[in-house]
Chains A and B, each alone.
Chain A
Amino acid sequence: MSFPQPKPEVPQLPQNLLRTIDCQQGAVRAVRFNADGNYLLSCGSDKSLKLWSVSRGTLLKTYSGHGYEVLDADGSYDNSQLCSCSSDKTVILWDVATGQVTRKLRGHAGKVNCVQFNEEATVILSGSIDGTVRCWDTRSRKFDPIQILDEAQDGVSSLKVSEHELLTGSVDGRVRRYDLRMGQLHVDFINSPITCVCFSADGQCTLTSSLDSTVRLLDKSTGEMLGEYTGHKMKGYKLDCCLSSKDTHVLSCSEDGHVYCWDLVEGSLMLKLPVGKAVVQSLSFHPSETRLLTAMEGRVQVWGADCTYEHGTWTK
């Protein structure tokens, strides 16, 4: 007896606003999902980092220790550690449960724009406006970075880490991919300052958004452009972009208060989420489900594909 094949799921878009969280942190500079997508990290301009529960929308913990606004954060795979970077040129490694500063890593010469754990949370990689990417060791007690990558000629605005690769985007218009396994550095010239880079889930492509209001999908191995997505406005601010959890859509923030969502293959605009009137600063996609976080001004919005239950009523 054979069961019929399940119907292929129609890729869903996170078009429904599920929740709005008022973070009370000043301006939310970055919002991130944690590794499993149950928690939310919000980096505020009031030097605090807050941990929220996505499903309930409740504040779980506040982490204070930075000296200036927190610009980016990331959680380790086991949810036991957080790392955050700030305009005070430091990267802080937090212990989640106790809220204590495990490590304060100093070394950058300017504000640190982006930070991420590697897959096993043994290394923290941080990119800064001073043009360097520093790899910090979480296992040892050393305060010096393991390696400093200073090939960028201008500030590093964004970085992403995969299993054996490091992708950095710099204001000098180049995307640099450091392949640790092969020992190579691949530089892709984009010609305009890069605001955000990210890997695709299958590891074949990289997504790059730059200040010419273009999001490009590049092939990782050859560097060829596989797709170009325009329509949004990204002229002056460092805004985020991302891919959906199944690599079906490309999403990007925009300075006009919307989040644009394109179909990856066709490149057509599928969705334009009306977040607000101000600049949508940051966004983050859930690692597995269709759920999106956006940050605008002082609030964080949770978007999903399913129905919402808010204020006692079900709305779709």
Chain B
Amino acid sequence: MASDSDSDGDFVTFGTPLEPLEEDEPLRKPVPLHEQTVKDEKGRYQRFHGAFTGGFSAGYFNTVGTKEGWTPATFVSSRQQKAGRQNARPEDFMDEEDLGDHGIAPRQITTTADFASGRKDVIRDKARAITSLSAPIPGDTVLEDLVAPARSSMGVELLRKMGWKDGQGVGPRVKRRLCKQRADSATRAFGSASPPNGSSESQDEEDGEFLPENLTFAPKDVTPIDFTPKVDLHGLGYRGLNPLAALRGGPGAGHINLFTMDSDRTNSLFGEDRKGQRRRGGVAGQGFGVGAMEDDDEDIYHRDIMSNYDTVLGGEEPGDGLYGWTAPQQYNRTKKDHSKDAAYLGKILEGFTLASDKLETKTVGIFPPPNLPRDFRPVHYFRPVVDLSSVSPMVAQALQTSRGHMAQEAPSKGGRHQLDSAQRRELLGEATLQGADCSLFAPHAEQQQQEALSVWSGPTAQAQTGQTFKPFERTPHKQARYDLYIDQLKQGDRDALELSLDPTMTEWERGRERDEFVRAALLYKPSSSSLSCRFTRGKQDDGVEADTVEVTRDQENDVDDKQAAVKMKMFGKLTRDTFEWHPDNLLCKRFNIPDPYPGSGFVGMPKVKRDKFSVFNFLTVSESPTASASPAPQGVKPSEPGKRSRWDVSGQAGDKERKEKDPVSEFLSVARIEASGSGPEASTTDGPTTDPTVEVLVPHYYIHH
């Protein structure tokens, strides 16, 4: 197609235009490799010195920096300094307003997140609040909190570098005793706070360690909460035997120090490493020694702490150590507890200590175990299913009672698994189902009879106008009887069979006929209505026809009327039909027209199933040539007595049929008769009259001589 680029003088074209793309042209193959050449303006082949052809020295010769190549004047290689290169930063393009306090990039010194303190950042919280409102889930910024970088602040890093470990107490030193820590923990377990007075009191009474008054200690360690879930079935706090400790033969094995204050020492067997334990792998112990290269000395020599020994001669204090103290002793209990702890050989759970007073058996109520019968054997086996009827009544009774059933319960035959539906229904108390009349155990013929009855007395059978199948055509009497039988079946008569039989026949014949009738009735039962519309019977007489026929939605006028109209040269309304027609969407696009039915995916003429014998067949004129379906039956158009229209002459002639046909059609039919006999009537000489009250407009027509 010639594209006239110069036809419009305002345009100036630059460059070579692309070849116009035509879809139906055969696709051109791409330029083959040997034709992909570059030529300079004089037509000489351009040399690239192997840059595009590959090879070992591809792109080496004649490149920048080589002796054959050239060095650009203002070229500085940035290969090594790529990192330092920074063309321009956004800040370069900003002015003072942007960099001010209210600009987009205010310059202020803030702490980065690494160094930020844990205090609330007001601005950040405000920003978060604002974003949370506009977030998809209004409210808390859940997503951001969900995915947060694992960041530890600089302070934590510094602490770590200085030897702090997670969980250790951190903060300013507190005035506390070493023992007091333990005491505090013990008392805190019971929920009571240690009063400051008490501490000062017990300070003096404590176990004789000489502690200066101003001694302070680091804050208490925080045991980090262990989030590992408990997945085993051991008891709380259970830790199995530490094989390393047991097999090592270390100080824990076999050497149970009774006098240790550190109850944890006994735990070394049970998986806990003491602080002093150094040698993890290999063998260690008194007998094995420590190598020269070891940094730390192992506990070769058994160490005893001073607290193992009394500082008071004469042994333990006699009595309970109260010295007549009768006041409440809740703060002094701890001493006894510790000794008890030491005496207890078993494992004491972390954070627990031995109870001071024994539980009263009365209050708690330790129950004795049940009295076992003499012959009790702690073995259980499942009771075999025993049919009670096959077993002696005594046994059955015993079984019943042992199972826990009430003895009065009616034993069902064979247990609950052998109930039949009726019994089950009884047990459950359900109403019996209204099933079909035929039951499983009824005789076969009866069932067939019932079936025939149900089939023929249904609504579909009633709709059947005629009956085409005549099984006994040869014997008219038999056929008559059969017809009678069928009729009575249709009426739902249960005794149809009996009634239709000929009483004059012998019993045997009657029996045979009975069977034949039933079988014939079943065999040629009327098809159900849902399927019958898909099939039509062939070779019909006019009485029995398909009720519906597929016609175009806007029904066509009768052809005969049209022909008559053409003969009379009355074109227009009589000869014209208008239908709704859907063009294809693409067709409308090609014609550059908007689709008249944009939503409809249908193309062509919509068809509708119409009853064949309906009012539409009597309508000959549609009111207006619009796409609406044929107007509602307006067959009856009574002409008003007051106004005489031109059709009245012919209307009176066909008075009887007036109800069915409208005046125009009548006129046509009359005219048709007349036309076949003689020429067209002189009624055409009258000028056309339009009677607005009559709904059918008289067509205009031209008179030709």
Contacts and interface: CB of A to CB of B under 8 A. Distances in A.
Interface of A: 78, 80, 102-103, 118-120, 122-123, 135, 137-141, 146-147, 149-151, 163-164, 178-191, 216, 218-219, 222-226, 228
A189 B575 contact: yes
A138 B25 CA distance: 12
Interface in B1-42: 1-2, 23-24
B591 A123 contact: yes
A274 to B, nearest CB: 28
Contacts of B576: 186-189, 222-223
B544 interface: no
Interface in B629-659: none
Most chain A beta-carbon contacts within 10 A, residue among B582, B586, B605, B702? B586
Contact of B627 (A102, A183, A218): A183
B21 to A, nearest CB: 12
Contacts of A180: 583, 587-588, 591, 593, 596
Contacts of A222: 572-573, 576, 625
Contacts of A102: 24
Contacts of A163: 591
Interface of B is mostly: loop
A202 to B, nearest CB: 19
Nearest to A118: B591
14 contacts: A139-B23, A146-B584, A151-B605, A164-B593, A181-B596, A183-B583, A186-B577, A186-B578, A191-B563, A218-B571, A219-B572, A222-B576, A225-B701, A226-B702
Nearest to B585: A146
Nearest to B554: A185
A149 B603 CA distance: 9
Contacts of B605: 151, 185
Contacts of A190: 566, 575
B563 to A, nearest CB: 5
Contact of A147 (B562, B567, B583): B583
B24 A183 contact: no
A123 B590 contact: yes
Contacts of A226: 702
B473 to A, nearest CB: 41
A178 B581 contact: yes
B683 to A, nearest CB: 19
Contacts of B699: 224
B704 interface: yes
A23 B576 CA distance: 42
A186 B587 CA distance: 18
A137 B586 contact: yes
A186 B572 CA distance: 11
A120 B588 CA distance: 12
A121 to B, nearest CB: 9
Contacts of B592: 120
B579 interface: yes
B580 A184 contact: yes
B455 to A, nearest CB: 42
A172 to B, nearest CB: 10
B596 A182 contact: yes
A163 B588 CA distance: 11
Contacts of B579: 184-187
A122 B580 contact: no
Contacts of A149: 604
A185 B581 contact: yes
Contact of B569 (A103, A164, A228): A228
